[in-house]
Structure 1
Amino acid sequence: MKYGIDTIKTGIFLFFAWLALAGSANAQDAAGHWDIGLYGNLYGSREYQVWVPADYDQTRPLPLLLVLHGCVNGPNLMGEASGFNDVADVEGFIVVYPRQNVTANPARCWNWQLPINQARGSGEASILAGIVDAVKAGYAIDPRRVYVTGISAGGAMTSIMLACYSDVFAAGAVHSGGMYKGATTVSGSAYALLAGSIYSPESNGRLAWQCSGSPSPRPLPVLVFHGSADATVNPVNGQQAVRQFLQTNDLADDGVDNDSVKYVPTSTINAQVPGGRAYTIDSYTYGGRTLVQHYVVQGMGHAWSGSKSGLPFTDPDGPDATLITWLFLKDQLR
């Protein structure tokens, strides 16, 4: 098989990134540890688990990554499937995994489709923001480097957190999820999962910009990851998330809907995992900065790409979504 120059460049980049992580891992034998927390407000309470990385030092503020699990899942399985804890031990960042209550959703899905959870200071969004505040108060955290990611229902909830708390998060990554307010009812969410949202990404991009609560929200870098054969969350949801955040960023750069940030990729890379899946990367840059990046993994279903855990909803043949996500987020500053 012949590979293009973009494929080779991407492969070399990820290879050397792995070498750097592996070298750091060999240099340290200690592993991190779990702490358990509980946060509550008027809208309810949620347990959460904090992965404190190896060699944590209270005098050295670290980045924080909020990770939102999918349905029928939880912090431990999400940590194992993604492998974020291993990367955190090497790279030095704190990982926070909230747990959805069965009383709030019997399948432990985040209720991203309910309007009460789609607003700043309200519902589950306020609880998740409160968890972030609690961890920032209890650990040495760099407030400029707070990030959020999630998969499936957690991915859709990630879009809400990015939209409504752009003053908290420096960047985020939506895996196998959807755009902000992709549905506003339970029946609407079922349709969106099957065929995509009925709402315009451009209109929802404006709603996301308005939700932040800031008079002048800032541009927000977002990574979108999706499998082309996802039968649980139609891949069109990933496309809509890209368009929505491009529209949000178009408004955020100068407060005017003037197509300054365009829905046209500035670069497209076709790549291949050796012995695994092909994938494409569309990057959208503005002012020399990548604002949105869209990964589509060919033939992958509803799964965390690149996971070697063997757990359900993981695919070992895709590109390493965990490493790609961290490399995208780690240098973004609020």
Structure 2
Amino acid sequence: MKFGIDSIKTALLVLCTWLATAGSAVAASPGHWDVGLYGNIFGAREYQVWVPADYQQTQPLPVLLVLHGCVTGPNLMGEASGFNDVADTEGFIVVYPRQNLTANPARCWNWQLPINQARGSGEASILAGIVDEVKADYNVDPRRVYVTGISAGGAMTSIMLACYSDVFAAGAVHSGGMYKGATTVSGSAYALLAGSIYSPDSNGRLAWQCSGSPSPRPIPLLVFHGTVDTTVNPVNGQQAVRQFLQTNDLADDGLDNDSVKYQPTSTIAGQVPGGHAYTVYNYSYGGKTLAQHYVVQGMGHAWSGSQSGLPFTDVKGPDATLITWLFLKDHLR
């Protein structure tokens, strides 16, 4: 069989295209774990970093700090939330600090202790230091640094958002509570059972003051909570929304003048096929959603929408992982 010169050229072109495609596939790097350790005068904590697929040192990426709940850690939190899979698709770095057994036998973040509720102090300073270390070790877009957590990690998320508004562009509290919802161990037990004894408006001012910035920035917040959460009373989610709206009322002009109102600008009802119904309360300001509150009917103390089958997850809820990321990525510091 004879081949003309045009046929040969075509065949060579196809071969070159295939080789280039194959070469790209081989060069593509999968996502992987890195490990680190950060310490300061308040202690040291291990952390794990999920470096997303196709990470390139030349491209600055967003960072998401994920704070686990009690009796768990980075690997289980990563599996339960599924953030690593979303990171591979969307292109962001995920950081999972690990609480020490020596700091808390149940590996809970000690959100209720005053030493951890201040800027530059306690566990908050360690977590902020971990973020700084990740910024130094990877190519990070400092405008797109976010934080989220569940349960004790959710309460710790409120601390990080309150006291480091110059670091985080936005955050999400899952089954957690507001900033300084308790300031003692006994007070935390009561808050978990019945909600904080403190006023969200008063704590909103304390959060604004904690940022350490002369002009604290607005903090967009997403809250997820189940209506039958017997571990962290759902009223804690309501208090977290109100507290941060009060913080944002002060942050926009330094005045407590109800410029940001605790009044939903829209309410949306949803239903997971074969799963839970839910309601979304949106609070908009300046043309953007400043706060969003997901109330999931019939869900307990769980990461909503997780497909992992792990404890403290609920496959019947809306996909909190994807919803969280889509909310966060819309905000720049």
Q: TM-score, normalised by structure 1?
A: 0.91
Matched, 1:112 2:84: no
Contact (CA 8 Å) 2:28, 2:54: kept in 1 or not?
no
SS in 2 for 1:86: helix
What is the distance in 1 between the residues matched to 2:74 and 2:217? 30
1:304-328 deviation per Cα after TM superposition (whole angstroms, max 9, x unaligned)? 0000100000000000000000000
Q: State the Cα distance separating 1:331 from its structure 2 match.
A: 2.2
* SS at structure 2 position matched to 1:163: helix
Percent same amino acid at aligned positions? 87
Match of 1:39 in 2: 38
SS class of match (1:133): helix
What secondary structure, in the 3-state scheme, does the structure 2 residue paired with 1:279 have? strand
Could you say which residue in structure 2 is the equivalent of 1:121? 120
Match of 1:230 in 2: 229
Alignment of 1:319-334 (within 5 A): 319-334=318-333
Alignment pair present for 1:245 and 2:244: yes
Distance 1:116 1:236, change over 3 A: same
The residue correspondences of 1:5-154 to structure 2 (distance < 5 A) are 31-154=30-153
Q: Distance in 2 between matches of 1:29 and 1:41?
A: 37
1:267 aligns with 266
Deviations 1:136-156 (A, max 9, x none): 000000000000000000000
> Is 1:201 aligned with 2:200?
yes
The superposition leaves residues 32-79 of structure 1 with CA deviations (integer Å, 9 ceiling, x where unpaired) of: 000000000000000000000000000000000000000000000000
Aligned to 2:316: 317
* Alignment partners' CA distance in 2, 1:103 and 1:162: 25
Letter in structure 2 aligned against 1:80: E
Displacement of 1:220 in angstroms is 1.1
Tell me, in whole angstroms, the C-alpha distance in 2 between the residues paired with 1:43 and 1:29.
40
Question: What is the alpha-carbon distance in structure 2 between the residues aligned to residue 218 and residue 111 of structure 1?
Answer: 25
In 2: Cα distance, 1:104 partner to 1:268 partner:
41
Match of 1:210 in 2: 209
Q: Which residue of 2 aligns with 1:14?
A: none
Length, aligned pairs only = 308
Counterpart CA distance in 1 for 2:137 and 2:245 is 34
Task: Give the match for residue 185 of structure 1.
Answer: 184
Name the SS for the 1:276 alignment partner.
Answer: coil
1:169 is aligned to 168
1: distance between equivalents of 2:187 and 2:221? 24
State the one-letter code of the partner of 2:106: A
SS in 1 for 2:141: strand
Aligned equivalent of 2:280: 281
Q: Which amino acid aligns with 2:319?
A: D
> What is the alpha-carbon distance in structure 2 between the residues aligned to residue 158 and residue 50 of structure 1?
18
Amino acid at match of 1:272: Q
Unaligned runs of 5+ in 2: 1-26
Which secondary structure state, in structure 2, belongs to the residue aligned with residue 97 of structure 1? strand
Query: For the Cα contact (< 8 Å) 2:62–2:93, is it kept in 1?
Result: yes
CA deviation after TM superposition for structure 1 residue 30, in Å: 5.1
Decide whether the 8 Å contact of 2:171 with 2:328 is kept in 1.
yes
Conserved? CA contact 2:100–2:107, under 8 Å: yes
Deviation at 1:196, TM superposition (A): 0.1
Q: Distance in 1 between matches of 2:319 and 2:171?
A: 16
Unaligned runs of 5+ in 1: 1-27
Shift of 1:31: 2.9
Q: CA deviation at 1:120?
A: 0.0
Q: Alpha-carbon deviation of 1:29?
A: 7.7
The one-letter code sitting in structure 2 at the alignment partner of 1:111 is N
Amino acid at match of 2:88: D
Q: Distance in 1 between matches of 2:28 and 2:194?
A: 47
SS in 2 for 1:324: helix
Cα distance in structure 2, aligned partners of 1:67 and 1:224: 14
Q: Aligned partners of 1:86, 1:177: CA distance in 2, in Å? A: 24
Q: Distance in 1 between the 2:30 and 2:82 partners?
A: 13
- 1:75 and 1:130 map into 2 onto residues whose CA distance is 17
Q: Distance in 1 between matches of 2:212 and 2:267?
A: 34
Name the structure 2 match of 1:159: 158
User: What is the CA-CA distance between 1:283 and the residue it aligns to?
Assistant: 0.4
Distance 1:319 1:254 in 2: 35
Work out the CA distance in 1 between the residues paired with 2:265 and 2:311: 35
